[in-house]
Amino acid sequence: METAQERLVAVEAEIAKACKAARRKPDNITLIAVSKTQPIEAINPLLQAGHRVFGENRVQEAQAKWPELRERYPDVELHGIGQLQSNKAEDAVALFDSIHALDRMSLVKALAKAMNKADKRVPCFVQVNIGSEEQKGGCAIEALPELLSEVRSADIPLAGLMCLPPADIEPAPFFALLAKLLQDNGLTGSEGGLSMGMSGDYPTAVMLGATHVRVGTALFGARG
């Protein structure tokens, strides 16, 4: 059985290898350990190994786990990476350091209102429905310029774009398309993040420009 530290070292080595091939710096990649459905006992070993960036899908689950963990590890950075309901905007703003699934006008309004109320600005990635899948969240590609304009008008810090490619299809063309959309929409600097890549394809995502990879199984091990 691999330890959490060994899995972390292995993932970081894969990221470094992909960066070397793409002539990028590993320091420019944020590794988000996806701790959704993981109990505190499974998260603790990664924290003890020195990892500090985690991602949660659901507000309620994150609220149940992270206040206790953050008391012991106040430097933790917590990312909201799942679909977000507008009625959870206040809780999300209070809890997360970054939100990865801003995908519609109604959520822009809800998050802007919550940020104003809390006097806190939370950087947000705009999620793009990169494979035009009906069952998936994300902004339609053709609607992206308008949504980006709304985000800026609402004074929500824009962190870049995020996607979930279709399952069981080679992800590289979808990662390349997201990177092109970033360029086409003039997103650079602090707005130029690309949140893409998971356990099965994060090296490919890094090769194609990912700045944030969301890795669960490769860090926590396969579910029993």
pLDDT, position 133: 84
Torsion sign (Cα): 37, 103, 193, 89? negative
Give the 3-state secondary structure of residue 175: helix
pLDDT, position 14: 97
How far apart CA 224 and CA 213 sit, in angstroms, is: 24
6-62 pLDDT, tens digit per residue, is: 999 999 999 999 999 999 999 999 999 999 999 999 999 999 999 999 999 999 999
Question: Which domains are present in the chain?
Answer: 4-218 (3.20.20.10)
Q: Quote the percentage of the chain above a pLDDT of 70.
A: 99
Q: Provide the β-strand partners of residue 125.
A: 160
Q: What is the DSSP letter of 86?
A: G
Give how far Cα 59 sits from Cα of 24, 34, 124, 153, 170, Å. 33, 14, 15, 26, 31
- Which residue in the block uniquely carries the two structure tokens 């199984």? 217
In degrees and rounded to multiples of 5, residue 102 shows phi and psi of -80, 110
pTM of the model: 0.96
How far apart CA 61 and CA 82 sit, in angstroms, is: 11
How far apart CA 203 and CA 80 sit, in angstroms, is: 22
pLDDT bin (cut points 50, 70, 90) of residue 224 is very low
222 CB neighbour count, 10 Å cutoff: 7
